[in-house]
Amino acid sequence: MVPHLRTSLIGPLSELELLMLDAMPQIERWFRMEWQEHTPPFYSSVNLRHSGFKLAPVNTNLFPSSFNYLAEEMYPLATQAAMVAVEKYCPDAKNLLIISGDQTSCPLYLKNLAHLSNILRLTGLNVRLSSLSEDLTQTTTLTLTDGQTLSLEPLERNGRRITLDKGRFDPCTILLNNDLLNGEPKILENLTEQILLPPLHAGWSTHSQSTHFNNYDNVAKRFSKFLDIDPWLISAYYNKLSKIDDNQKTSKKELHHIIDQQLKKIAKKYKEYHIEEKPFLIIKPDVGTSKSAIKIHNSNELTELENWLYDINIDKKTNNLLIQEGIPTIESVDKQPAEPIVYMIDRYVVGGFYRINSEKIIDTPPHQPAVRFEPLPYIKQSERTLNDISTVHNRFYSYGVVARLAMLASSIELEQTDPNPDFT
């Protein structure tokens, strides 16, 4: 089940959209069977690109940090899904601790924390917050732009448990909203008595974009066979380039080669499907939720790429690059390119929003306003008209399908990389 949300598209349904809507009962059953075998992550978000001829995930986040951008009307759905998840992991839970990300100086991130806390409070849990910051040595009150406040309390390690408030707050479940880009914190190791969601190995110190897309490709292949479609229609080609700084020369040559090969592969597919667009690639760090990425049309743009690499000051420890097939977007909001981001809790799609004018989605004139976000609202019965196909058919359905495929890939990845598979 995917809620009927309003996407930016108003034209006729694409072949892929029609196919998925027609096969809904089969697809939902397929997912139900998968969830018999695999456990979905507690929460996740997936960035999609929709070009009309294809719809594929380009980023999956197991520490979603923009709950504040969901339409308000989605919160009951999110709360109910969270309740399902809480019941599964820790039915006797009373207390839940959220460990925040490092962005606590960002007002928008604080809004996310407030929304996430509220969703979990409404499931009937006592929710308190902390962070991994070493500076957090006493309870710190943070004020949101609307005057609301959030308290972050220092973490305490009590034997095999994490507590707050001199042991008075002893959570059953600890929810990480921190993607552990700086490594697995010692204080969270060996918490065998408490449930850590997602587990430590979901963090960037274990997994990477390329391991995810490797798993995604397998899931997409299986699903495509089931639906009898070309897996390319729901996935983006990708490649990983490792060790970009150890031997600059070799890696440059390799990069050149990979870019050429990748562009040729896409061009071949474009020819097969009579697509007249110009193939391009998106290059981004293989580790971390990329805030920065560069768009490349051919292997001669390497200087620009090098400048970008220098600019983003890529970490030596995590110095791999993901070279991903670029997917042109047909979606726009207020005439600006828009990328849909789908939010999920447990195995349920609970909403989504558009990231508008994100850098390099397509060429945009300079000095555009900064990135902004637009929630996807429900389509009400009363809004349905035959003149607008998106109000009659749930156009958001195919987004929900592809996002859940990416989430399923993450579930499988978490199983495969679990250091203590017997404990799960």
Q: Which residues bind a copy of itself (CB under 8 A)?
A: 1, 3-4, 24-29, 31-33, 35-36, 72-73, 76-77, 79-84, 86-87, 91-95, 122-126, 348, 378, 380-382
As a whole number of angstroms, the distance between CA 358 and CA 342 comes to 16
HSE of 74 in the Cβ direction (CA atoms, 13 Å)? 28
**E strand intervals along 122-209:** 126-131, 140-143, 149-152, 156-158, 161-163, 173-176, 195-197
Helix or strand or coil: residue 381?
Answer: helix
- Taking the least distance from each CB to a copy of itself, the nearer of 381 and 424 is 381
Distance of closest approach, residue 27 Cβ to a copy of itself, in angstroms: 7
Give the separation between CA 89 and CA 197, rounded to whole angstroms: 9
Nearest to 284, CA basis, from 276, 273, 295: 295
CA 25 to chain centre: 25
Give the three-state DSSP class for 292: coil
In the complex, the smallest distance separating the C-beta of residue 352 from a copy of itself, rounded to whole angstroms, is 13
Closest CB 406 distance from a copy of itself, rounded Å: 19
Q: Which residues contact 88 (CB under 8 A, 6 or more apart)?
A: 346
Closer CB to a copy of itself, 105 or 381, in the complex: 381
CB of 92 to a copy of itself, least distance (A): 6
In the complex, least distance from residue 228 CB atom to a copy of itself, rounded to whole angstroms: 17
Contacts of 172 (CB under 8 A, 6+ apart): 90, 92, 93, 94, 95, 96, 194, 195
**Least spacing, CB of residue 298 vs a copy of itself, in Å:** 43
Q: How far is the CB of 25 from a copy of itself (least distance, A)?
A: 5
325 sits in which H/E element:
strand 321-325
Beta carbon nearer to a copy of itself, 119 or 241: 119
CA dist 131 and 142 (Å) reads: 12
* CA dist., res. 130 & res. 174, Å (int): 10
Spatial contact of 321 and 246, defined as CB atoms under 8 Å apart: no
Q: Which is nearer to a copy of itself, 29 or 278 (CB)?
A: 29
For a copy of itself, the closer of residues 7 and 329 by Cβ is: 7
Of the pair 32, 221, the CB lying nearest a copy of itself is at: 32
DSSP state of 229: S
Q: Which amino acid does the sequence have at 20? A: M
Tell me how far, at minimum, the Cβ of 42 lies from a copy of itself, in Å.
16
In terms of CB distance, is 81 or 408 closer to a copy of itself? 81
Do the beta carbons of residue 158 and residue 190 sit within 8 Å? no
Q: Which is nearer to a copy of itself, 288 or 377 (CB)?
A: 377
- Angle at which helices 24-37 and 15-22 cross, to 10°: 70
Q: Tell the smallest beta-carbon distance from residue 394 to a copy of itself (Å).
A: 8
User: How far apart are the C-alpha atoms of 414 and 99, rounded to whole Å?
Assistant: 20
Q: How many CB atoms lie within 10 A of CB 366?
A: 4
Q: Which is nearer to a copy of itself, 22 or 272 (CB)?
A: 22
Q: Which of residues 83 and 255 has its CB atom nearest to a copy of itself in the complex?
A: 83
- Give the nearest distance from C-beta 222 to a copy of itself in angstroms: 17
Q: Smallest distance, Å, CB 301 to a copy of itself?
A: 44
With CA atoms as reference, report the closest residue to 344 among 424, 266, 410, 261: 410
Given the DSSP bridges, would you call strands 126-131 and 95-100 parallel, antiparallel or unpaired?
Answer: parallel
**95 or 130, CB closer to a copy of itself?**
95
| Residue 351 to residue 217: CA distance in whole angstroms | 24
